[in-house]
Amino acid sequence: MNPFHIRAAIGLLQGIALYALYRAADHGGWLSLHPLLFSPLPLAAASLPLLCQTGLGALRPSRLVAWLTGLALAVAAIGVHDRWRVGVEQAARADLMPGALAVLGVFLLLFIAWPLILAGEGERRWRASYPAYFDTAWKLGLQLMFSGLFVGVFWLILNLGAELFALVGMDGLRRLIGEAEFAIPASTLALSAGLHLSDARPGIIQGLRSLLLTLLSWLLPLLVVLIAAFLALLPFTGLDSLWKTGHASALLLGASGLLIFLLNAAYQDGREQPGRVIRLSLLAACLLLAPLQTLAAYALALRVGQYGWSPDRVFAASLVILGACYAAGYGWAAIRRRAGFAGVASANIYAAWLSLALLAAVLTPLADPARISVASQLARLQAGRVAAERFDFDFLRDRGLRYGHAALLRLRDDPALSGSVRRKASDALSEDKAQPKPPAQAIHPRGPAPLPAGFLAQDWKQAAKRTGELPSCLLDGRNECDAYVGDYSGGGKQEVLLAEPLPARLTLFQRNAQGLWTLAAAYDLPAGCPAPLEALAAGGAHALPPQLPDLEAGGLRLRPRYPYAPPACPGAKK
């Protein structure tokens, strides 16, 4: 079968799966009630089809299926843990979709693991040669980069075409590309086409890689000079100014990461001998990494000693460990001075496996940043290193997730602790503090009827996850709304109509059978037209019968969707 047809079929199936998950998350259903089952599915649907497409032709079908099955189990375990760590007892903060840590972690883990697998399978051995790892990793990275660019230009053309058709009064294409049922499968199909085109022309990829690496390699001498000058000045300036920045660890780790990247851009696969300037820069870079990493580790140790562990410091510690592996390997390669810095290749391979182990640790309970942080902060409180008045109980509630919630319960219920600690833990657990009310000053009631009790007190941020976009005045108060209370649909029940100036829109809310206020409808207003708002203020808004009736077919009630045609403002020139 034609490889393009296979990739297109995989892309189409991926789009259908992602759209089905989008609908399940947006509109509810059995699966949306089980976050532990739902969360791994978007991770797997977004990542594994890409691996399958890049593995076509490189792996035998049986081996491809076996590796994808193993990686799917790993992704499922990470997705389940990501939702489990939130804690079902904190349902107000739970979400169906995987968190940012799980998404980024899974894609990093797969991007590192897949080239190791492909290169090893290509040479039929557990540890492949370094040139095979290098070629596979760069090919995968450039394929994904150019395929993403292809998708971006694809959507640029579609939007341009939609706007051109709209100029002549044909709005069908604009509405089509705005629908999720088209946008998601179209994007995955375009991505599949980009992956196939980049795979079918390997010579172009290799040429672009060579050009990119050559350009980047000439930035290494500049970075080496700057880092060497920085390190040379430290004995004269001291370290106090460095620590006062408050982000010395992040800056030093960033410099180390850039140095490692440019060093490898200059080293490439190690088969070609670079020129004298690049060779001297490689030697200096291999030696400079160790002092940078030492400073980063020392800065992190100072922060942990002062304030204990936090999730950010756990991530920084993982990078320090990984950087130490690079520094040791590169330093040994520079000291041995073997031809071509052969030790750099070995250090890169060991660092790749170490990075997989570190990712697996932080994405599971083994080294969950939230668990380590909560244990560290509790130990500081119990040891008296921080007073109860200065202890951040809100950190346990907001960033400690399941572990922080359990810690607050223990602090609240432990009779051996002081009353101050127990009271503050109880306050942190209270529903009012855990779920702050939306800013009332952003909503201005208009008319004789006041806002119904409970409308502002409702958790609108959680409701936005179920119903989609809500007026910002309900969520964060960035914009202001006028609120009108009345019976606007003719059903004889009290309703709330929020009027936003930007975008010009009315949003209608109704109370459901459970007593919760829910989004019922949204009405777009003509821009710069005050007539509807004036009518609302005067109590002149009323219900009209629909232009077309609902239809009943197969036990379903089908509602009409009218073509987009903004109403004209009364008195406007034709």
Please list the pLDDT of the chain residue by residue as tens digits (574 residues): 688 889 999 999 999 999 988 887 766 566 767 778 888 999 999 999 999 999 888 888 899 999 999 999 999 999 999 988 887 544 434 467 888 889 999 999 999 999 999 999 888 888 889 899 999 999 999 999 999 999 999 999 999 998 898 888 888 888 888 888 899 999 999 999 999 988 877 778 888 888 899 899 999 999 999 999 999 988 888 877 777 777 788 899 999 999 999 999 999 887 877 788 988 998 999 999 999 999 999 989 988 888 889 999 999 999 999 999 999 999 988 887 665 677 889 999 999 999 999 999 999 999 999 999 999 999 888 888 888 778 888 888 888 888 988 888 888 888 877 878 888 888 888 744 444 455 556 787 887 778 887 788 777 776 666 666 788 888 776 678 888 888 888 777 888 988 887 667 888 888 887 778 888 888 887 766 777 878 887 777 878 888 788 888 877 788 787 765 556 776 655 4
pLDDT per residue as tens digits for the range 206-238: 888 888 998 999 999 999 999 999 999 888 888
In the DSSP assignment, the letter for residue 445 is E
Q: How many CB atoms lie within 10 A of CB 57?
A: 11
Is 32 contained in some domain? yes
Same domain, 192 and 303: no
Q: Is 537 exposed, middle or buried (0-12, 13-18, 19+ CB in 10 A)?
A: middle
Per the structure, the count of domains in the chain is: 4
Question: What is the structure's pLDDT at 436?
Answer: 46
Same domain, 339 and 217: yes
* Residue span of the structural domain in which 392 resides: 369-434
Q: Which residue type, as a one-letter code, is found at position 538?
A: A
β pairing state of 556-558 and 551-553: antiparallel
Same domain, 38 and 77: yes
Same domain, 74 and 89: yes
Considering only CA atoms, which of 501, 498, 500, 524 is closest in space to residue 510?
498
Considering only CA atoms, which of 99, 62, 63 is closest in space to residue 84?
99
Question: What is the structure's pLDDT at 91?
Answer: 41
CA atoms within 13 A on the CB side of 540: 7
Question: What is the structure's pLDDT at 552?
Answer: 84
Same domain, 53 and 179: yes
Is 568 contained in some domain? no
Same domain, 334 and 374: no
The tokens describing 16, both together, are 């259908």
- 531-538 contacts at long range (C-beta below 8 A, 24 or more positions apart): 531/569, 531/570, 531/571, 532/506, 533/482, 533/499, 536/446, 536/482, 536/484, 536/497, 536/499, 536/506, 537/446, 537/447, 537/484
Same domain, 84 and 128: yes
* Last residue in a domain, options 330, 346, 367: 367
Q: Which residue type, as a one-letter code, is found at position 166?
A: A
The tokens describing 437, both together, are 């009310």
Is 573 contained in some domain? no
Q: How many CB atoms lie within 10 A of CB 442?
A: 18
DSSP letters for 352-382: HHHHHHHHHHHTSGGG-HHHHHHHHHHHHHH
User: Helix, strand or coil for residue 505?
Assistant: strand
Is 569 contained in some domain? no
Same domain, 430 and 502: no
Number of residues that make up the chain: 574
What HEC string does 213-242 produce?
Answer: HHHHHCCHHHHHHHHHHHHHHHHHHCCHHH
Quote the CA–CA distance of 141 and 145 in Å, as a whole number.
6
Helix axes 276-307, 311-336, angle to 10 degrees: 150
Quote the CA–CA distance of 16 and 2 in Å, as a whole number.
21
For residues 98 and 83, is the Cβ–Cβ distance under 8 A? yes
Considering only CA atoms, which of 489, 564, 500 is closest in space to residue 532?
500
* Last residue in a domain, options 391, 409, 434: 434
Question: What is the structure's pLDDT at 229?
Answer: 94
Question: What is the structure's pLDDT at 90?
Answer: 45
Quote the CA–CA distance of 43 and 76 in Å, as a whole number.
8
Is 570 contained in some domain? no
Is 531 contained in some domain? yes
Q: Is 498 exposed, middle or buried (0-12, 13-18, 19+ CB in 10 A)?
A: buried
- Dihedral of the CA atoms 465, 470, 472, 474 (nearest 10)? -80
Displacement of CA 534 from its chain's centroid (Å)? 43
Same domain, 337 and 386: no
Question: What is the structure's pLDDT at 93?
Answer: 41
Same domain, 262 and 404: no
Is 574 contained in some domain? no
Same domain, 39 and 141: yes
Dihedral angle sign, alpha carbons of residues 164, 170, 174, 176? negative
Same domain, 218 and 346: yes
pTM over 0.85: no
* Last residue in a domain, options 309, 339, 367: 367
pLDDT per residue as tens digits for the range 148-203: 999 999 999 999 998 898 888 888 888 888 888 899 999 999 999 999 988 877 77
Is 536 contained in some domain? yes
